[in-house]
Amino acid sequence: MTSNVGIQIPSRLPLLLTHEGVLLPGSTMRISVDTPRNMHLVRSRLLKGTSLKSTIIGVIPNTRDPEHDTDDLPTLHSIGTAGMAVQVVGSNWPKPHYTLLITGVCRFRVSGLLKERPFPLAEVEQLDKLEQYTTPATEGVTAEDGELGELSQRFYQAAVQLVGMLDMSVPVVAKLKRLLDSLPRETLPDVVASMIRTSNKEKLQVLDAVSLEERFRKTLPMLTRQIEGLKLLQKTRKPRLDDDKRVLSVRKSGGFPGRQFSLEDEGEDEDGDDTAALERKVHGANMPEAAFRVCLKELKRLKKMPQSMPEYALTRNYLDLMVELPWSKSTKDCLDIRAARILLDNDHYAMDKLKRRVLEYLAVRQLKTSLKGPILCFVGPPGVGKTSVGRSIARTLGREFHRIALGGVCDQSDIRGHRRTYVGSMPGRIINGLKTVGVNNPVFLLDEVDKLGKSLQGDPAAALLEVLDPEQNHSFTDHYLNVAFDLSQVLFIATANTTATIPPALLDRMEVLQVPGYTQEEKVEIAHRHLIPNQLEQHGLTPQQLQIPQDTTQDVITRYTREAGVRSLERKIGAICRAVAVKVAEGQKVTKPEASAPEGPVQEQGDMAAPPEMPIVIDHIALKDILGPPLFEMEVSERLTLPGVALGLAWTPLGGEIMFVEASRMEGEGQLTLTGQLGDVMKESAHLAISWLRANAKNYQLTNMVGAPDPMEGTDIHLHFPAGAVTKDGPSAGVTIVTCLASLFSGRLVRSDVAMTGEITLRGLVLPVGGIKDKVLAAHRAGVKRVILPKRNEKDLEELPANVRAELDFVTAANLDDVLNAAFDGGFPATTSAHTHPQLISKL
Ligand code: ADP
């Protein structure tokens, strides 16, 4: 610093305008340079020059808002600091820029601008007379110094007091003490102002204070404020607490507001404005103590990092996320059970059982505000309204809604985030979701929990367990955040197509609510109450322009869709709307000139020529024209025209399905061939069926091809389950296989309108099976008239809608004899009853 004494600066100086703070004489500052004007200055002046004078440039704080900075030169602040460029570093990352290390020498005033381009050059007048700086501050005050002397003395003493309060074992502090003693007093205010915490605005005031007296007057309050702050800090500081805790304790005691004291190494300029803004946000984010402490630590690191370092962006992103997370922001629940009931009923037709359970759940929540209830999991085929019920729940509670799709997630960091050590690391879906909704009590819909995968990267289900467990989720730790976030206010709802593939531990934490498929009638109602009005609105049509009669809807349901839910029905209605929209738009074009035609006889004529305004009604012909030929025909009766075919009912995660079983026989050695992607249980059922039929062949007069009493003698059997791409397994096809083979061995046709389901035993009993409701609905969809099911499944029929029950003929079977009798026209008589057991005769 003292080496600057006596320097005479050139009368013409190139000017560097910077947003990065205020350079004061006697301090050193790092300035990042990237504007074209400043880059030019560095290149043609600093890098090319050879003399000492060429390293001196004028640094002027740019007072224009950086966001509104334009190409033209802003009005120059009249006072600047001549600085000596000590170091110039260039880099191309992330964009070309230079970083200058500049030491302030003295103030100057701009007396005239000589040129603006390529960089500003100005005529300047040196303000600080460096050659007169001779009086060391340590010297006492003489009488002729007057007020200035007194001021400077007070200032010096305050500075000594401040340094005395600091920890002398820190090297910078020791350096500072030495500096204070050797500096001429004229430089004291500048040097001290650049070292203590002052805002850029305050520094600008110091720069503008040209007279020494004024400068002392301006800086003294800043210095005293700093001393007061430090005193307060020391009062609240507990022994051996680290820096962060020190700051924290001040915050908690409500003490020294805003900025905290810190002495920065090497006199570097403090954080730029945006770091300061970030710091303010950290203080305002209302986060828990642990998170706050981590943020402060990261902030501290950030301030020390040059912006060009890749880690700067990482740390910055992390802090941005931390301040954005809704640590303590939440929406207020507005739960009114009556309103909730109305809303659920309005949004969804049918699904009474589900709606009832959801209302119960909400009612309990209203009475008991703690959230430690079970997690609801809606299980059912696609398109039955699981997601949309979830959305309604959020609406009734007045909460934000967010859907997290889990299908195909096979990496636990998808849920829990990546550690920040990875390049491109990011938080998991839960934290991301919270950031998106901006409150800490949203409704999260975990969609498709049954499709979670597993891989080498860990099991995502295990991570979900932690999320869903009310005992643990108040301190959920995302790997990226690395601090706990309280998830206990989040309402989780899960959906799945089947419970079979949900990991058991996860299933254990959820209450499963089955959402079965819809009947044809329910679908028609849903279409007319919800889907058609929605689609009309989405396509900009009105009911006056398009009408879809119930008959047509029914046709769409049976001949163009085959599903348990209503998603493809909705798509088909969308297709009809699109086709009609074209017609309506064309029609409007034609009628336009008429509309603008002048009044009078001409218009009358036009009116008569135009077709009358009428809704477009979609009848069967229009339907075929729009959707093409029907995709599904009633194939049941067509396929049951040969012996050896029977119709079974299967349950799949996508709802119930009808399933054909075909059998044929040929000469051979009694072998059984099975095709159609079958599981082990299915193969066993086939063997069981054959054994039972062989055992009872005599009773039912079953024969082989040439009429021998053993149907397998000299015969090979081939059983086929069409739709080979789908894996089929489960015991419920047992009765169908028996019926199919009985038809083959007897040469009789199975009734074309019968479908069946049931497990068999070797003794010919029929055991109950699952999924009856879905299976019966599938049979009803396919136009079957009679359904054969196990006797012990009779109770499941109560769940069926009344109209389905009325339209179908149910035969409950306790044994295979009952099944065969119901499956064939005129029964399937046995000579002696197949299932009668030999009478026990007492030996007594
Ligand atoms: P999922 O989540 O079960 O696959 P969605 O909730 O996405 O199904 O439902 C698909 C569409 O069907 C949505 O547009 C939804 O509004 C509609 N929908 C399904 N069930 C009903 C219902 N009972 N009443 C009204 N609309 C329904």
- Pairing status of strand 616-617 against strand 546-547: parallel
Query: What's the average model confidence in pLDDT over 456-483?
Result: 85
Evaluate: CB of 643 within 6 angstroms of ligand 1: no
In this prediction, residue 765 carries a pLDDT of 93
Integer Cα distance of 826 and 820 in angstroms: 10
The set of residues, in sequence order, having a beta carbon less than 8 Å from that of 710 and lying 6+ positions away, is 694, 697, 704
Tell me how crowded residue 398 is: count the other CB atoms within 10 A of its CB: 12
CA of 497 to the centre of ligand 1 (A): 14
Integer Cα distance of 638 and 653 in angstroms: 27
Integer Cα distance of 765 and 462 in angstroms: 42
Tell me how crowded residue 56 is: count the other CB atoms within 10 A of its CB: 22
Query: What's the average model confidence in pLDDT over 288-296?
Result: 91
Integer Cα distance of 603 and 184 in angstroms: 99
Query: What's the average model confidence in pLDDT over 249-277?
Result: 46
Q: Name the pLDDT band for 801 (thresholds 50, 70, 90).
A: confident
Q: Under DSSP, is residue 388 helix (H, G, I), strand (E, B) or coil? A: helix
Integer Cα distance of 58 and 80 in angstroms: 6
Evaluate: CB of 566 within 6 angstroms of ligand 1: yes
Give the mutation target among 388, 443, 534 for probing the ligand 1 site: most ligand atoms within 8 A of CB: 388
Tokens of 633: 């025909």
Evaluate: CB of 229 within 6 angstroms of ligand 1: no
In this prediction, residue 423 carries a pLDDT of 67
Evaluate: CB of 772 within 6 angstroms of ligand 1: no
Residue pointed to by tokens 């044929």 = 664
Evaluate: CB of 350 within 6 angstroms of ligand 1: yes
In this prediction, residue 269 carries a pLDDT of 43
Query: What's the average model confidence in pLDDT over 669-697?
Result: 88
At 830-843, the pLDDT tens digits run 765 544 454 555 55
Integer Cα distance of 228 and 207 in angstroms: 24
CA of 438 to the centre of ligand 1 (A): 27
Evaluate: CB of 526 within 6 angstroms of ligand 1: yes
The set of residues, in sequence order, having a beta carbon less than 8 Å from that of 21 and lying 6+ positions away, is 29, 61, 200, 203, 269, 270, 272
Report whether 165 contacts 226 (CB < 8 A): no
How much is the mean pLDDT over the chain? Answer: 82
Report whether 1 contacts 191 (CB < 8 A): yes
Q: Assess whether 732 carries a catalytic annotation.
A: yes
Q: Under DSSP, is residue 442 helix (H, G, I), strand (E, B) or coil? A: coil
In this prediction, residue 660 carries a pLDDT of 87
Tell me how crowded residue 655 is: count the other CB atoms within 10 A of its CB: 26
In this prediction, residue 6 carries a pLDDT of 59
Query: What's the average model confidence in pLDDT over 697-709?
Result: 84
Query: Which of 515, 335, 484, 501 has the alpha carbon at shortest distance from 417?
Result: 484
Q: Assess whether 175 carries a catalytic annotation.
A: no
Is the pLDDT at 812 greater than 90? The verdict is: yes
Query: What's the average model confidence in pLDDT over 336-365?
Result: 88
> By alpha-carbon position, which residue is closest to atom 24 of ligand 1?
348
- What separation in angstroms does the CA of 468 have from each of 326, 409, 481, 510, 673? 19, 17, 19, 9, 47
Is the pLDDT at 238 greater than 70? The verdict is: no
Is the pLDDT at 529 greater than 90? The verdict is: yes
In this prediction, residue 2 carries a pLDDT of 44
Query: Which of 321, 335, 334 has the alpha carbon at shortest distance from 430?
Result: 321
Q: Name the pLDDT band for 252 (thresholds 50, 70, 90).
A: very low
> By alpha-carbon position, which residue is closest to atom 26 of ligand 1?
348
Q: Under DSSP, is residue 401 helix (H, G, I), strand (E, B) or coil? A: strand
Evaluate: CB of 570 within 6 angstroms of ligand 1: yes
CA of 296 to the centre of ligand 1 (A): 47
In this prediction, residue 571 carries a pLDDT of 94
CA of 384 to the centre of ligand 1 (A): 5
In this prediction, residue 57 carries a pLDDT of 93
Q: Under DSSP, is residue 530 helix (H, G, I), strand (E, B) or coil? A: helix
Q: How many residues appear in the chain? A: 844
Query: What's the average model confidence in pLDDT over 689-713?
Result: 86
CA of 655 to the centre of ligand 1 (A): 15
Q: Name the pLDDT band for 404 (thresholds 50, 70, 90).
A: very high
Evaluate: CB of 388 within 6 angstroms of ligand 1: yes
CA of 348 to the centre of ligand 1 (A): 8
At 613-643, the pLDDT tens digits run 567 888 888 888 888 888 776 555 556 677 8
Query: Which of 703, 710, 712, 701 has the alpha carbon at shortest distance from 829?
Result: 701
Counting from 1 in the atom list of ligand 1, the atom nearest the Cα of 515 is 3
- Pairing status of strand 443-447 against strand 491-496: parallel
Tell me how crowded residue 406 is: count the other CB atoms within 10 A of its CB: 25
Evaluate: CB of 351 within 6 angstroms of ligand 1: yes
CA of 155 to the centre of ligand 1 (A): 76
In the chain, % of residues over pLDDT 70: 85
Look at 204-208, 403-407, 422-426, 704-708 and tell me which has the smallest mean pLDDT.
Answer: 422-426
Q: Name the pLDDT band for 337 (thresholds 50, 70, 90).
A: confident
HEC profile of 732-782: HHHHHHHHHHHHHHHCCCECCCEEECCEECCCCEEECCCCHHHHHHHHHHC
In this prediction, residue 367 carries a pLDDT of 80
Evaluate: CB of 530 within 6 angstroms of ligand 1: yes
In this prediction, residue 543 carries a pLDDT of 87
Highest mean pLDDT among 387-396, 412-421, 457-466: 387-396
In this prediction, residue 255 carries a pLDDT of 35
Tokens of 425: 């690391």
Counting from 1 in the atom list of ligand 1, the atom nearest the Cα of 522 is 23
Q: Name the pLDDT band for 431 (thresholds 50, 70, 90).
A: very high
CA of 428 to the centre of ligand 1 (A): 28
Counting from 1 in the atom list of ligand 1, the atom nearest the Cα of 348 is 24
Q: Name the pLDDT band for 82 (thresholds 50, 70, 90).
A: very high
Give the mutation target among 530, 535, 571 for probing the ligand 1 site: most ligand atoms within 8 A of CB: 530
Query: What's the average model confidence in pLDDT over 761-774?
Result: 91
Query: What's the average model confidence in pLDDT over 409-414?
Result: 84
CA atoms within 13 A on the CB side of 418: 10
Q: What is the DSSP string of 123-161?
A: EEEE-S-GGG---BTTSPPPGGGHHHHHHHHHHHHHHHH
Residue pointed to by tokens 């050695």 = 669
Evaluate: CB of 382 within 6 angstroms of ligand 1: yes
Residue from 152, 392, 685, 732 carrying the catalytic annotation? 732
Evaluate: CB of 573 within 6 angstroms of ligand 1: no
Is the pLDDT at 788 greater than 90? The verdict is: yes
In this prediction, residue 635 carries a pLDDT of 56
Integer Cα distance of 528 and 524 in angstroms: 6
> By alpha-carbon position, which residue is closest to atom 18 of ligand 1?
385
In this prediction, residue 790 carries a pLDDT of 94
3-state helix, strand, coil in the chain (%, to 5): 45, 20, 35
- Pairing status of strand 56-61 against strand 12-18: parallel
Evaluate: CB of 567 within 6 angstroms of ligand 1: yes
Is the pLDDT at 282 greater than 50? The verdict is: yes
> By alpha-carbon position, which residue is closest to atom 6 of ligand 1?
385
CA atoms within 13 A on the CB side of 804: 26
Look at 724-733, 760-769, 776-785 and tell me which has the smallest mean pLDDT.
Answer: 724-733
Counting from 1 in the atom list of ligand 1, the atom nearest the Cα of 378 is 3
Report field, pTM of the whole predicted structure over 0.85: no
Look at 471-485, 506-520, 600-614, 778-792 and tell me which has the smallest mean pLDDT.
Answer: 600-614
Examine residue 504 and say whether the peptide bond preceding it is cis (omega within 30 degrees of 0): no
Give the mutation target among 344, 356, 384 for probing the ligand 1 site: most ligand atoms within 8 A of CB: 384
Is the pLDDT at 122 greater than 90? The verdict is: yes
In the chain, % of residues over pLDDT 90: 26
Evaluate: CB of 45 within 6 angstroms of ligand 1: no
CA atoms within 13 A on the CB side of 807: 18
